Amino acid sequence: MARGRRFVPGLQSILLLFVACLATFFCACDFGFHRGVRLTLEQPFPKKLSAWHLFAGSAKNGQLTPNTGVLPYDLNTPLFSDYADKYRFVWMPAGTSAEYREDATFEFPVGTILAKSFAFPLDDRTREQRLIETRLLVRTKSAWVPLPYMWNASQTESTLQMVPDPVHIHYTEADGRPHDFTYQIPNTNECHECHDNNKVLQPIGPKARNLNKDFLYQDGLANQLAHWVKVGYLRGAPKPGTAPQAAKWDRPESGSLSARALAYLDNNCAHCHQPGGTAGYTGVDLGLGHFDAAKFGVCKHPNSAGNMGDRRYDLVPGRPDDSILVYRLESIAPKVVMPQIGRDVAHTEGVALIREWVTSLQGSSCGSVGGR
C-alpha cells in the first residue's frame, strides 16, 4: 500500500509533466510567437492603442517595441508622407497566413493587423524622434477597418480619433534644411480615398513587388518574402528570386530611371489612378509597371481638374515644365496637390526623379501648343 501510494503521485507527476509539455508545445504557437496581442474584430474598437498589446511600453525616440509575433517590414519604394519616418508591422492570428499574390495585395486572413507609425524629429539638437500617429488596418470578418491612433506628447499612449487634429511640425535637418508645416492626418473617410478599389478597402503596400527585399531582423538580414514564409505568415510564395521586385526609387543600382520612376508612380499615385480606384474615372492608370502613353495621360487634357498652372496636358514627353503630372507633384495647393490627401510638403527628391524621367521620354510633343 505504502509503496503503491508512493507510486501514484509519481505517475501523477509524469502525467502533469506530460500535460505541461503539451501545453508548452501548443502555447508556443498560441502564446509564444503570438503572445499577448488582443484582437478586436468588431465595434467598439479599443480607444487606446495599448489595448491591442501590439507593442510593449511607451515609444522611445519614435521606436515601439513589438510584442512577439508583431513583425516589422518595409517596402522597396514607399508612399512619400511629408518626410515622416514610417514604421510598419504585421501580425496574424495563430495558425493563419496570408496567401501570396503575384501582382496584387496579399490575401490576408481575418484577424490580420497592419500597423504603420509616423514619426518626425522632436528636437533639432538631440535628433530625437516623436511618434505622431499609428494607423491600424484590421481585417475583420467583413472588411478591412482603418483605425487611426494619435500619440500624446509624452509618448506614453495613443488614442483612437476618427477625425484627427492636424499637427504642427517644425524641425531642421542636420544639413540645415528646415521643415515647418501643418501635418494633416486623414480621417477615417479619407482612408478610403486611397485604400478603396471598387468600394472595397485594401492595404496598398504589402504586395510581392514591394516586400521583395532584405530586412534587418533581430536575428540577421533576410529577404522579407522568405522570412514571412519561414515564420508562417505567407503561403504559396515562390522563391524571392522569381517573385516580382520593384525598384527602390532612390537607389540607381536597384533599377533603371524608368523602373524607379514607375515604382514611384505606382506607390504614390496608382492607389487612386487605376481602374476601380478613386481616380479611376479619369482614365489615367499609373500602376501598370510599364509605360503606356495613353494610360499615363500623354497629350490628355485633365477632364475635370481646375487651373493647372496654364498647362494643357497631363504628360508631355520630354517636357516636364509642360506636364501637369509634374506640376501637381510640385504643388501643395489644396486642389492641385497630388496625391490629394496625405501630402503637405513637396517631395523634392521624388519630383526630381519624375522630372528626369519625363525629360527622358520620347514621343509626341502634343502638337505645337506644347502646353504653355
Partner 1 sequence: MPRNIDRTASLRFSRYRSQLAWFCSLSLAGVAGSCSHTPVDMQKHLQEQLITAKPGAIIEIPEGKFHFDRTLSLTVDKVTIRGKGMDKTVLSFAGQKEGAQGLLVKANDFTIEDVGIEDSAGDALTVQGGTNIIIRRVRAEWTRGANAGNGPYAIYPVECKNLLVEDSVARGAADAGIYVGQSENVVIRRNRSEYNVDGYEIENSENVDAYENVATHNTGGMGVFNLPNLPRQGGKHVRVFRNQIVDNNTANFAPVSLGPIHDLPTGTGIYVMAIKDVEVFGNKIQNNNTVNVFLIHYDTGVGDSLQETASSPITQQIFKPGDTHYYPFLQQVYVHDNDISGGGKSADSRIAVMKQMAEALGGSLPDILYDGRVDPAWAKKANSGQICLGNNGAASFLNFDAAGGMKHPVHDVKNYACTLPALPAVSIPSVAAEVSRTGSGDLAR
Q: Which residues of the chain form contacts with partner 1 (CB under 8 A)? A: 162-163, 165, 182, 184, 187-190, 192-193, 199, 275, 278, 280-283, 293-295, 298-312, 324, 333-335, 340-341, 344, 364, 366-367
Dihedral pair phi/psi, residue 18, rounded to 5°: -60, -45
Q: Is 114 helix (H, G, I), strand (E, B) or coil?
A: strand
Q: Which residue has the cell 504643388?
A: 331
- Residue 369: CB minimum distance to partner 1, A: 8
Give the residue with the Cβ less far from partner 1, 34 or 311.
311
Q: How far is the CB of 346 from partner 1 (least distance, A)?
A: 15
Q: Answer whether 243's CB lies under 8 Å from 212's CB.
A: yes
Q: Compute CA distances 348 → 83, 115, 190, 341, 360, whole Å.
A: 10, 27, 25, 17, 18
Closest approach of partner 1 to the CB of residue 335, in Å:
4
Nearer to partner 1, 76 or 278 (CB): 278
Q: Which is nearer to partner 1, 154 or 198 (CB)?
A: 198
Residue closer to partner 1 (CB basis): 99 or 292: 292
The helix (H) or strand (E) run that includes residue 130 is strand 129-139
Which of 50/323 has CB closer to partner 1?
A: 323
Q: Which is nearer to partner 1, 57 or 306 (CB)?
A: 306
**Least gap, CB of 143 to partner 1 (angstroms):** 12
Shortest distance (Å) from residue 182 CB to partner 1? 7
User: How far apart are alpha carbons 212 and 226 in whole angstroms?
Assistant: 9
Q: Which is nearer to partner 1, 193 or 330 (CB)?
A: 193
- Closest distance to partner 1 from the beta carbon of 328 (Å): 10
Residue type, 334: P
* CA 61 vs CA 74, 120, 121, 260: distances in Å: 19, 10, 9, 31
The DSSP string of 180-245 is: EEEE----HHHHHHHHEETTEE--SS-BHHHH-SEEEETTEEEEHHHHHHHTTSEES---GGGS--
Report in angstroms how near the CB of residue 153 gets to partner 1 at its nearest. 19
Whether 126 and 143 have beta carbons less than 8 Å apart is answered as no
